[in-house]
């Protein structure tokens, strides 16, 4: 009875939060709706008797991932205005998510143990859980594969950030050039290197045009 | 007893403990800091200024509750709640005695830490929604600090869990009552835990989120009245939660060495509270004696010192513990 009430309330909260998360125009609001959604999912796993999963969900998704999401937003969006974008409905995204939903539903229906699952099971002892997770004939292989996915994501992120590194070098060079400028001159010369570069670029473009 | 009535009574208990400890820690902080600086502290109202809290509360309750014109109103109103509620929930998992724990769950340690990781999100919401540049700088610092100290904090609680073989806080306490305090084999973890606790509760020398000499009042600059009261209370309640968690994990919790834990009775909560206040006194002496860290130095401390050190220490500790257990039998 109690868990049925909790299940309905949490299900409602999760749905509302998820819908608001994808339709929010302000990216920070979206991040906080995602936080509420993660807390709701943690609560639901708790009522299913999966204590360890619930705590991990709360600690990693509600705590750490939300912080990292907000950290990313802070690094990429400089002002309050640029945090807002109009949300558009993408047909391809709808099709993709419906296909994913279908795949997961098919998987659950086709697995008799999952389809017959009811709530209020006895919570598993942590030591048993660890033994099950890391046993060679248990889930050790899947666990290692998951860590490979993370490693691939890490390498991809480093590879992508290479270009912005070059930008950083250019900015550092500009700064160094500005510092070398004699300080006794008028303050307008402080920005001189940047302006010269722009002029050069423009003249180079002009030349190319004339060649064409 | 009726399930609902029991739940209601536990909630009342948790809220009372939080309110009372929050208020008394504010008074204690003033006195301890004043003593550390050779001042007197509040001394006019009541004996030794103990009634100073009454006008404080009246002021908080009667001030005008306003919000800045360009603030993000929904998030601005929600932020103190996001800070307050996880802190209140964390109180429910602390064992005050053999049966005195509002929520006795197997994952007690992790539950407290999981709820405390939500607090920086509330701090960020407060700073961002205020639409004030000082508040925003404080908010960004809180997020940066959160990803700095949470990893060493989580790693530093692992040795007591390994020693007790359980994440249940009541079992960790009983394991210490039957053997020794876990601070003896795991002293480095206890030190790192206390440093990270100081960061977690936003206290000097790690209070960059509200550094008053640089940022007015940081993330809480625009808050007034009882909304500020909630932030203030949550901060001091956080002191008690971290101190009580430190006592439970490393200093024997509600037990005393040489005394049968089942004969403690009414003294159990008193022992826990006295031990916690000794830890809080330690926090305050650090606060009174060290100057504030620079924000990048704190990140360097977290990433370059605390995280590598705790990783190596946990590995060494785990190997050592297993070696001792195999050499001297599984009883250790």
Q: Reply yes or no on whether the pLDDT at A61 is more than 70.
A: yes
B 62-101: CB under 8 A from A: 72, 74-75, 78
Residues 6+ apart with CB under 8 A from B286: B198, B203, B205
Among the partner residues A29, A32, A59, nearest to B117 by beta-carbon distance: A59
**Position A205 in a domain:** no
CATH number where A42 lies:
1.20.120.1200
The rounded mean pLDDT for chain A is 73
| Rounded mean pLDDT, A151-176 | 71
Among the partner residues A59, A70, A80, nearest to B131 by beta-carbon distance: A80
Note the pLDDT of residue A82: 62
Q: Does B150 touch chain A (CB under 8 A)?
A: yes
d(CA B230, CA B116): 16
**Position A44 in a domain:** yes
Note the pLDDT of residue A170: 61
Q: Which long-range contacts (CB under 8 A, 24 or more apart) does B14-20 make?
A: B14/B88, B14/B91, B14/B92, B14/B102, B15/B88, B17/B91, B17/B240, B18/B87, B18/B88, B18/B91, B18/B233, B18/B237, B18/B240, B19/B233
**Position A6 in a domain:** yes
- Which residues of chain A make contact with B75, given a CB cutoff of 8 A? 28-29, 32
Range of the domain at B94: 3-328
Q: How far apart are the first and last CA of chain B?
A: 40
Note the pLDDT of residue A196: 46
Q: Reply yes or no on whether the pLDDT at A24 is more than 90.
A: no
Q: Please state the domain count of chain A.
A: 1
pTM: 0.76
- Which residues of chain B make contact with A28, given a CB cutoff of 8 A? 72, 75, 128
Q: Please state the domain count of chain B.
A: 1
Note the pLDDT of residue B64: 76
- Which residues of chain A make contact with B110, given a CB cutoff of 8 A? 55, 59
CA distance B46 to chain A (A): 43
Q: What is the 3-state secondary structure (H, E, C) of B297-325?
A: HHHHHHHHHHHHHHHHHHHHHHHHHHHHH
A 17-46: CB under 8 A from B: 26, 28-29, 32, 35, 39
**Position A57 in a domain:** yes
Burial class of residue A81 in the structure, from the number of CB atoms within 10 Å of its CB (0-12 exposed, 13-18 middle, 19+ buried): exposed
pLDDT by position in tens, chain B (length 332)? 677 787 788 888 878 888 788 778 888 888 888 888 888 777 777 777 777 778 877 877 787 777 777 767 778 888 888 888 888 888 888 888 777 777 777 788 888 888 888 888 888 888 888 877 788 888 888 887 877 888 899 899 999 988 888 888 888 888 888 778 888 888 888 999 998 888 888 777 777 777 667 777 777 777 777 777 788 888 888 888 899 999 988 888 788 877 777 777 778 888 888 889 999 999 888 888 888 878 788 888 888 888 999 999 999 998 988 888 888 765 54
- Give the number of other CB atoms < 10 A from CB of residue A144: 10
A 49-78: CB under 8 A from B: 51-52, 55, 58-59, 62-64, 66-68, 70-71, 74
- What is the band of A212 on the pLDDT scale with cuts at 50, 70, 90? very low
Buried b (16+ CB within 10 A) or exposed e, A10-19: beebbeebbe
Range of the domain at A72: 1-87
**Position A25 in a domain:** yes
Q: Reply yes or no on whether the pLDDT at A11 is more than 70.
A: yes
């Amino acid at each position: 009875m109690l868990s049925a009430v909790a299940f309905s309330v949490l299900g409602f909260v999760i749905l509302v939060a998820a819908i608001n998360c994808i339709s929010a125009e302000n990216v920070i609001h979206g991040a906080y709706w995602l936080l509420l959604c993660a807390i709701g999912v943690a609560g639901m796993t708790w009522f299913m008797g999966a204590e360890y999963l619930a705590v991990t969900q709360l600690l990693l998704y509600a705590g750490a991932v939300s912080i990292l999401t907000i950290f990313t937003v802070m690094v990429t969006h400089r002002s309050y205005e640029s945090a807002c974008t109009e949300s558009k409905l993408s047909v391809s995204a709808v099709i993709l998510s419906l296909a994913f939903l279908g795949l997961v539903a098919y998987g659950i229906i086709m697995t008799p143990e999952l389809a017959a699952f009811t709530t209020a099971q006895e919570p598993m002892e942590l030591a048993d859980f660890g033994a099950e997770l890391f046993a060679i004939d248990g889930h050790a292989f899947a666990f290692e594969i998951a860590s490979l996915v993370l490693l691939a994501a890490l390498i991809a992120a480093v590879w992508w950030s290479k270009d912005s590194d070059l930008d950083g070098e250019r900015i550092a060079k500009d700064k160094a050039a500005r510092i070398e400028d004699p300080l006794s001159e008028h303050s307008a010369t402080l920005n001189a290197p940047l302006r010269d570069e722009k002029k050069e670029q423009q003249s180079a473009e002009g030349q190319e045009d004339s060649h064409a | 007893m009726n399930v609902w009535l029991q739940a209601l009574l536990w909630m009342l208990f948790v809220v009372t403990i939080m309110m009372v400890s929050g208020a008394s820690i504010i008074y204690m902080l003033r006195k301890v800091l004043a003593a550390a600086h050779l001042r007197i502290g509040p001394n006019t109202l009541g004996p030794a200024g103990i009634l100073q809290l009454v006008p404080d509360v009246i002021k908080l309750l009667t001030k005008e509750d306003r919000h800045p014109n360009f603030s993000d109103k929904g998030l601005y109103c929600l932020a103190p709640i996001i800070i307050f509620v996880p802190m209140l929930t964390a109180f429910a998992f602390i064992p005050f005695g053999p049966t005195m724990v509002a929520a006795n769950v197997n994952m007690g340690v992790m539950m407290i830490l999981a709820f405390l990781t939500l607090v920086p999100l509330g701090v960020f919401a407060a700073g961002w929604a205020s639409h004030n540049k000082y508040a925003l700088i404080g908010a960004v610092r809180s997020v940066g600090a959160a990803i700095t100290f949470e990893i060493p904090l989580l790693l530093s609680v692992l040795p007591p869990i390994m020693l007790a073989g359980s994440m249940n806080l009541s079992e960790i306490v009983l394991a210490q009552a039957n053997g020794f305090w876990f601070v003896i084999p795991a002293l480095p973890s206890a030190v790192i835990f206390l440093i990270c606790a100081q960061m977690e509760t936003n206290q000097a020398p790690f209070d960059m989120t509200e550094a008053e000499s640089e940022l007015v009042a940081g993330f809480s600059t625009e808050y007034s009245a009882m909304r500020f009261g909630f932030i203030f209370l949550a901060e001091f309640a956080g002191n008690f939660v971290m101190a009580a968690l430190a006592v439970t994990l490393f200093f024997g919790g509600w037990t005393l060495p040489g005394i049968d834990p089942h004969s403690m009775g009414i003294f159990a909560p008193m022992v826990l509270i006295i031990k916690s206040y000794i830890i809080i006194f330690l926090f305050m002496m650090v606060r009174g004696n060290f100057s504030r860290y620079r924000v990048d130095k704190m990140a360097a401390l977290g990433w370059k010192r605390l995280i590598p050190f705790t990783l190596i220490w946990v590995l060494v500790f785990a190997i050592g513990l297993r070696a001792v257990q195999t050499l001297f039998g599984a009883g250790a």
